Structure 1
């Protein structure tokens, strides 16, 4: 039984099919998939969402298939990336053969035909790709494995004396399962703390407040045309909300002959005031490939270095120097090999000295300064992370100009191959992210909460998981049109005198509004989850929230606690369930997205493979025992 038939559940199904001939060649297996949303796409990637919402990755950077880079025990069965799937679909159509385009609505088929590797596809197109992947995974199953899909929710799960589990569906049916995998992806949550207080304030004063929510499902109808709306958060959730409140309300863009993008309002938009801790949007996606040879990752932050970390390691002292050295390796490898005219020595000479000098040492700084004459060619992580830090502005207009200049410069840099060292940093960050699960058990609790969860993941998303460049061009157009303005860095929000107020460290200006929107996703929580199954399991002690403890420090992360190696669910007594697993971002495994960039040894793919093989091995043992007793 797999609870959740979105990309995570579909990816697990593919792995079960891949390893079943080796590990479960006899007997029969029925995989029940339960999800109220379409299999393959699931809730977040379902087709019935606004056409204006895009993916945040180029089509060539999206795949559901393992490749030779994935280090796993199961067989690797390759398949097309999103862009390759689109190209193959168009070729099939041109040849007159049946293919994916036959079953797609015209508006989506048009997008598929126009797609290139560097297209930022609409989410409806990704939904079609995921649905096709699911159908292919099902059709590729061996003859002794079958699938049943249940369009329903799971609301209860209990153990039976014989080791099986009873699964209760929302519509009333009960299913019996030998093994259960929870693969539900992101989950909704009731607000608490500040968010609960702000919601109550809004109710008491007839204001609008949107707690952290999934943008495509957010109720925005109560936001009135022309009214001021404060948005806290400048990441991908903000971009979706920006689109829904502008294009989604009839606004249009027009590009002039000189390339300038102009926004033409419909008159139904609110006035958006956005800010965050950084005060700027996530960095734009990079629009070019490496100009030099691809380096080998990991170099400084791999299994060997992680193994040497002490128990109770401090992220800032023990881990971050290794990560920063890896980022520098990616940056300077690309700079030296692709742009040798901007350095004073060879890569071989620089690399030898770089590798042996301690990160953060004066000697390393001197090496970089001598070998890379221009400061703009050097990697400066603090400046990258906090571009408005230490800057103050005389007023709102000066701040607007500064942020627009920052965004325009970022767009230009991320579209200019002369700055391809930025892509070296990006690829190094992907490598680092893939190694992080091995660090979890090494870190002290304080460091895990405050530095890894509290800073690094946000830094990763800011640098490596930003919006498509065209979205930031739209943001600039909205700013010039007066539909959107910037609050600045160090944003604060208050609820006073019957209104919401916002300001920041960048200026002394204060924005006043009757509407406040949290432009972010809900934080993981099991006790306040709107998922009845997860909430019930925690209330009964069949599952627990992850708690990080260190001496007098104790922090409940809200994530479902699972074993790090096998992703088995842990109960109140600290015992891992022998036949119950959980995969996804709501677990203590902190998994990456269910699909991945090709050739990156995706940790999500590795975990799917490991869990699938453990499930099949367990089922094979049960089958043997059953035959022996028969």
Structure 2
């Protein structure tokens, strides 16, 4: 008799993940009969697990960034590059900030997790407030905390918006992974010959995608603005197609063909504009940020920069296959999912008025006896506040969740959300897809799916474990046969 192994991947080692692993181990079949159950726990901070009798438990201190399917097998992609195959997958990761909220309330602080239902009326006026995230969710916070509190915009000498405070606004100190807000949406149309091109890849889909994006960008530059190039598209294209993405030949080709630095595409610089930059104080960073916003408004309003729009369209075309990849999702949000020109101009006005202050890239936000404190590599010192607002949600995922795995499921219609939570069938926790069907091999529980106390979590963990083991049992029977 052949030996059959049933594999279960549990993503998340917090309370929900721990509970469901415990119940799976308790209900798993005992050794014998040529059947074994393996449980793979994925969490960057996962503790060591004892291997219960009859169950092999493997801990992966890594982050799950993708979940796909092939011939019924569930494929969990890890940030470190490995892919785990499984008969069933349980999503038990926590929503970002879900634990911090409880700690803040206990200590008399205010912490507002991302998503709908922000209790913005309780955000104190005239006091520093930390905001984590500078994308769309951040932009959505601005109106209720500014004009919603009596402020108003008027026009300056050049027609630019100028903010007049109402006196009841908080002072927003904003940090994010890259430290800058999303770029505004262009206010013009393409002028050249828009046409995308796919490139084959060998082991690195990101490099192939980067080349596709650059192809669309340079095609628009050469066909719509030939006076800013030293050669023709007919001469440039075949050399570009042959060149390795990001290699020396590619860089040399662009340098000799596109004379102006501002006309060359630098995806790395776009993705991390503050990388390696250090400022002596917040005031120095603000001067740089004001220049960044002014330049963005100018470039996104000028059709001379229509290659930027060609790049955005190429990002949108690539998204269905790249959804869930952290590199791609970050680039997409920054370049293709920003505010209108008018909203960006209002953000610039709020920054000039001192209502919005940027604190730089990669902020580290911690709690101490005095409240929240933020520090980071862009500027020295600490920024302190007694209120923290999360603004990190991904529009393709459940509100308040910045999880690339979930973002990929949503983008492909393999999951749906209700009231900002991941939609599952109760009591077994099977995921409900975008068309309303139920997935047999994917399960979820914990803060992604519902609120509730420890007793509720135990009941749901028990129901999910039974359903998972039943599914794996069927797989074992087929494998043994």
| TM, length-normalised to structure 1 | 0.50
Q: Deviations over 1:297-321 (max 9, x none)?
A: 2x125xxx4xxx67xxxxxx52011
- Within the candidate set 203, 212, 233, 2:133 is matched to 233
> How far apart are residue 376 of structure 1 and its match?
1.6
In structure 2, the partner of 1:506 is 378
The answer to whether 1:202 aligns with 2:202 is: no
Q: Supply the distance in 2 between the matched residues of 1:533 and 1:383 (Cα, whole angstroms).
A: 35
Equivalent residue runs for 1:1-16 within 5 Å: none
In structure 2, the partner of 1:355 is 241
Equivalent residue runs for 1:292-303 within 5 Å: 292-294=192-194, 296-297=195-196, 299-301=197-199
Q: Deviations over 1:541-568 (max 9, x none)?
A: 5x14xxxxxxxxxxxxxxx578xxx885
Equivalent residue runs for 1:26-65 within 5 Å: none
Distance 1:397 1:194, change over 3 A: same
Contact 2:183/2:338 (8 A) holds in 1: yes
The alignment of Structure 1 onto Structure 2 pairs a total of residues equal to 338
Q: Deviations over 1:218-264 (max 9, x none)?
A: 21111121111100000001001011100111210111232232111
Equivalent residue runs for 1:405-484 within 5 Å: 405-436=291-322, 452-484=324-356
Q: Deviations over 1:171-191 (max 9, x none)?
A: xxxxxxxxxxxxxxxxxx999
Distance 1:190 1:530, change over 3 A: farther
Equivalent residue runs for 1:236-251 within 5 Å: 236-251=136-151
Q: Supply the distance in 2 between the matched residues of 1:538 and 1:520 (Cα, whole angstroms).
A: 28
Equivalent residue runs for 1:235-274 within 5 Å: 235-274=135-174
> How far apart are residue 459 of structure 1 and its match?
1.5
The answer to whether 1:218 aligns with 2:118 is: yes
The secondary structure found in structure 1 opposite 2:366 is strand
In structure 2, the partner of 1:319 is 205
- Within the candidate set 410, 419, 440, 1:571 is matched to 440
Distance 1:357 1:495, change over 3 A: same
Q: Supply the distance in 2 between the matched residues of 1:508 and 1:518 (Cα, whole angstroms).
A: 22
The answer to whether 1:394 aligns with 2:280 is: yes
Q: Supply the distance in 2 between the matched residues of 1:411 and 1:532 (Cα, whole angstroms).
A: 32
Q: Say which is worse superposed, 418-427 or 389-398, in terms of deviation.
A: 418-427
In structure 1, the partner of 2:259 is 373
Where do 5+ consecutive residues of structure 2 fail to align?
Answer: 1-90, 394-399, 410-414, 450-481
Q: Deviations over 1:131-158 (max 9, x none)?
A: xxxxxxxxxxxxxxxxxxxxxxxxxxxx
Q: Supply the distance in 1 between the matched residues of 2:309 and 2:248 (Cα, whole angstroms).
A: 26
In structure 2, the partner of 1:285 is 185
Q: Supply the distance in 2 between the matched residues of 1:392 and 1:270 (Cα, whole angstroms).
A: 27
Contact 1:262/1:477 (8 A) holds in 2: yes
Contact 2:115/2:420 (8 A) holds in 1: no
Distance 1:431 1:515, change over 3 A: same
In structure 2, the partner of 1:166 is none
> How far apart are residue 509 of structure 1 and its match?
2.6
> How far apart are residue 530 of structure 1 and its match?
7.4
Contact 2:187/2:301 (8 A) holds in 1: yes
The answer to whether 1:495 aligns with 2:367 is: yes
Equivalent residue runs for 1:573-592 within 5 Å: none
Distance 1:272 1:321, change over 3 A: same
Q: Supply the distance in 2 between the matched residues of 1:533 and 1:272 (Cα, whole angstroms).
A: 27
> How far apart are residue 358 of structure 1 and its match?
2.0
The secondary structure found in structure 2 opposite 1:393 is coil
Q: Deviations over 1:505-538 (max 9, x none)?
A: 11013111110000133227799x8769966625
Contact 1:396/1:509 (8 A) holds in 2: no
Q: Supply the distance in 2 between the matched residues of 1:533 and 1:218 (Cα, whole angstroms).
A: 15
Q: Deviations over 1:574-596 (max 9, x none)?
A: 79xxxxxxxxxx99xxxxxxxxx
Distance 1:190 1:256, change over 3 A: farther
Q: Supply the distance in 2 between the matched residues of 1:353 and 1:436 (Cα, whole angstroms).
A: 26
Q: Deviations over 1:433-466 (max 9, x none)?
A: 14447xxxxxxxxxxxxxx433321221111111
Q: Supply the distance in 2 between the matched residues of 1:245 and 1:289 (Cα, whole angstroms).
A: 33
In structure 2, the partner of 1:556 is none
Contact 1:413/1:419 (8 A) holds in 2: yes
In structure 2, the partner of 1:46 is none
In structure 2, the partner of 1:515 is 387
In structure 1, the partner of 2:425 is 537
Distance 1:266 1:300, change over 3 A: same
Distance 1:495 1:358, change over 3 A: same
Q: Supply the distance in 1 between the matched residues of 2:340 and 2:230 (Cα, whole angstroms).
A: 34
| TM, length-normalised to structure 2 | 0.65
The secondary structure found in structure 1 opposite 2:154 is strand
